[in-house]
Structure 1
Amino acid sequence: MRRLTACLGAALLALGACTTSTPGPTTTPTAPATPPVTTTAVTTSAPSPSAEPGAVVAGAVYFLRGERVVPVRRELAGPGVAASAVRELLAGPSASERAAGMSSSVPDGTALRGVSLAGGTATVDLSGRYDDGGGTLSMTSRLAQVVFTLTQFSTVERVQFRVDGVPVREFGGEGIVLDRPRTRADFEELTPEVLVDSPRSARP
């Protein structure tokens, strides 16, 4: 009986030595969730060529300093802000702006007959005084002044000219050909190396 008990104990010891414990599942610590990175797009836009009646918006007209166009700040009245900008251009630089070296090639007495916009093209109708006198530089400069003034607006890409209601095909005595609407790219020789479109000169 004692022998049987000893054998049974030995068998249990052997069985215990042959069994292995199965390790439990391991867990890897996780890093805290990183909050998503959000970016905010910063956009700038040009002024609209229209505004609510009675509204006043900041805009510009383009005069000349030397032989280059420069933006000059103007307060433009709505509605018809584009027309307001052209009228301000035709009024010419103030006395203090002239003293600061600014000028205009647009002849005194030029009147605005109308401005219309369709498909990114502004059609400007000016009085016959607009194409009077001046050589090639003067004629080119006055075209550039109008083009730059109107293309400051987000919906205007190009400008088509009329004089006294008649579409212009050749401009002035110099015969500048206007067989298509004009863009800023047509006046690279009159554009400063760095053109700051935010006008810095305020009307006194």
Structure 2
Amino acid sequence: MSRRPPGPWCRLGAALVALGLLAGCGVPDEDTPRAVAPPPGPFPTSGGVVTTPPPTLTAGRATEVLCFVRDDRLVRVQRRVDGTPTVDAQLQHLLAGPTAAERDSGLSTALPGAVATAAARHVGTEAEVDVGETGDETGRSDEVLAFGQIVCTLTARSDVDTVEFLRGGTSLGVPRADGSLSRRPLTVADYADLVAPR
């Protein structure tokens, strides 16, 4: 007994069943678009080298105050940083000078002429700054502004009230705004006449 080939209705029914199964395997439509998070890296490249995506640049979580010079006045500048720097880290940022953008806005520094190198440590509410010897080839030599920059910068911190300058462990006499030398711990009030209004 020979089998008859399936009729047109049978073939149509089979096609409809197949279409129904295929429709059930797709992603359903949504009324609004939604964000899709990328899978976690690292991601392989065509060369077989594993790479990680670059970090996202975000604004810093803390504010660091540095004092630079404009028109022979001390100017406070705020920078955003990832975390509150140590006293010495903040001093090193000051010694590095203004950024290109800050220089373009007219800011400069008097530090190279008076304080080429320095290190700071925290002692209670005082910052002790050990000042290195200046070299023969230095820039500006306006010591009042240079030491004022350091005092203005470090006393802008909530945990520093005074700054004492040392050289080789001995108190160093530094000029105040009125031109007098002082070996005692200094505050921003000693340079108040030089600080530009905010």
TM-score interval for Structure 1 and Structure 2 normalised by the shorter chain: 0.5 to 0.7
Aligned to 1:154: 158
Aligned to 1:86: 91
Which residue of 114, 117, 127 corresponds with 1:111?
117
Aligned to 1:45: none
1:167 matched to 2:152? The reply is no
Aligned to 1:179: 183
Is the Cα–Cα contact under 8 Å of residues 111 and 146 in structure 2 kept in the other structure?
yes
What is the SS of the residue equivalent to 2:87? helix
**1:38-73 residue CA offsets vs partner (Å, 9 max, x unmatched):** xxxxxxxxxxxxxxxxx9632121101111111222
For 1:98, the aligned partner's letter is R
What is the SS of the residue equivalent to 2:111? coil
Unaligned runs of 5+ in 1: 1-54, 196-204
**Under a length normalisation based on structure 1, what TM-score does the superposition of the two structures give?**
0.56
CA gap of 1:110–1:165, structure 2 versus 1, over 3 A, is farther
What is the SS of the residue equivalent to 1:128? coil
Structure 1 stretches of 4+ moved >6 Å: 130-133
**How far is 1:183 from its partner?**
0.5
Aligned to 1:24: none
Which residue of 101, 111, 116 corresponds with 1:96?
101
Counterparts of 2:150 and 2:174, CA distance in 1: 16
Unaligned runs of 5+ in 2: 1-59
Aligned to 2:36: none
Q: Which has the higher contact order (CA 8 A, sep 6+)?
A: 1
Identity %: 31
Is the Cα–Cα contact under 8 Å of residues 67 and 94 in structure 2 kept in the other structure?
yes
What is the SS of the residue equivalent to 2:91? helix
For 1:95, the aligned partner's letter is A
Bigger Rg, which one: 1
Aligned residues: 134
Counterparts of 2:149 and 2:76, CA distance in 1: 9
For 2:118, the aligned partner's letter is L
Counterparts of 1:60 and 1:130, CA distance in 2: 27
**How far is 1:161 from its partner?**
0.4
Aligned to 2:67: 62
